[in-house]
Amino acid sequence: MKILITGGAGFVGSHLADKLIGQGHDITVIDDLSTGRYSNVEHLEGTKHFRLIIDTVLNEKLMEELIRETDHVYHMASAVGVRLIMEHPVKTIETIFRGTDVVLGFCSRYRKRVLIPSTSEVYGKSATVPFKEDDDLLTGPTDKHRWAYACAKTLDEFLALAHWKETRLPVVVVRLFNTVGPRQTGQYGMVVPRFVEAALTNETIEVHGDGTQSRCFGHVLDIVEGLTKLLDNTACFGQVINLGNDEEVTIKQLADKAILLAASSSKIRFVPYDEAYGEGFEDMQRRVPSLAKAGRLIGYKPTRTLDDIINDVAAEFRKDSAGQSKNVAN
């Protein structure tokens, strides 16, 4: 099939491109490289099954052409990361919603199957875990920019499901829970690459808050395995589905594990949220997915542990560091 991946030079999108090309599909990636990186897809350049277009999903003329000629669309383009959200709330909202509106509009016009990624952030401050897809959502007040991402993604979900309700557009909404692994950068606040890089260089690991907040981290290869199955299953159309891992760990435990697996001498420093992100920042205390629906619909079951994730991220940092040292020496 011909498959379009928006944001395909990003962390998850590039792994998805790898997986789909491995299955024999022809892949077109469109990415403006604002948060994605060319290096993520450089190894695919020159192959007959891959095409990279550096442009924005807000280019409607181009998007109409790309969607018209494709079979499936994975709309992975999005603003990502807590730091980016806090520093650029306008860009966050516009990038997420306007881009999704463009994609859904043309997918509806040409009847293309489309996957819309959402986020565990939409569950907000809900205290009932594990989070199930039909749970009520509880976000914070609109003067807290921290919730702009969650609300924009929630609006994406409403729009996608409205298209399903009105025209039976074959759309799937996927709530991703803390996807991590190789190629992810800590530039925008992602915790695992930040911790691993600090541990490998024996630098202080900064834990925001008191470290008792917990998360579940899913390996990107498990996630893309699930993503590739969703658009092939008509039972998933019009559905909201969690994907991730349900192995819960506190952020303090994550820091300890990074130090242990890296055989590091790093110390931990606890940084108040106000210092890290500005006054009034609110966080979710727990974020644990129910994976029952994904298991029932596509047989989804994560196979990689948190140890696997940290080791894979560490291996990539070591490889990159070795390459940089070699270049300097030359």
- What is d(CA 254, CA 306) in angstroms, rounded to the nearest whole number? 9
Q: Is 299 left (phi over 0), alpha (psi -120 to 50) or beta?
A: left
Q: Which residues fall within 8 angstroms of residue 310, CB to CB, at 6 or more apart?
A: 192, 196, 257, 258, 261, 262
Of 143, 137, 148, 144, which Cα lies nearest the Cα of 93?
A: 148
Which stretch of DSSP H or E encloses residue 261?
helix 251-261
The CA-atom distances, in angstroms, between 298 and each of 24, 47, 218, 242 are 20, 30, 17, 12
CA atoms within 13 A on the CB side of 247: 16
Q: 248-250 and 214-216 as β-strands: parallel, antiparallel, unpaired?
A: antiparallel
DSSP string, 27-66: EEEEE--SSS-GGGTGGGTT-TTEEEEES-TT-HHHHHHH
Greatest alpha-carbon span in the chain: 61
Give CA separation, 316 vs 7, 245, 254, in Å.
Answer: 22, 21, 18
Q: Are strands 26-31 and 50-54 parallel, antiparallel or unpaired?
A: parallel
218-219 and 268-271: which strand pairing? Answer: unpaired
Active-site residue, 149 included: yes
288 SS3 class: coil
* HSE value, Cβ hemisphere, 13 Å, CA-based, for 146: 19
CA angle in degrees (0–180, nearest 5) for 224-225-229: 105
Q: Which of 149, 188, 273, 277 is catalytic?
A: 149
What are the catalytic residues?
A: 149
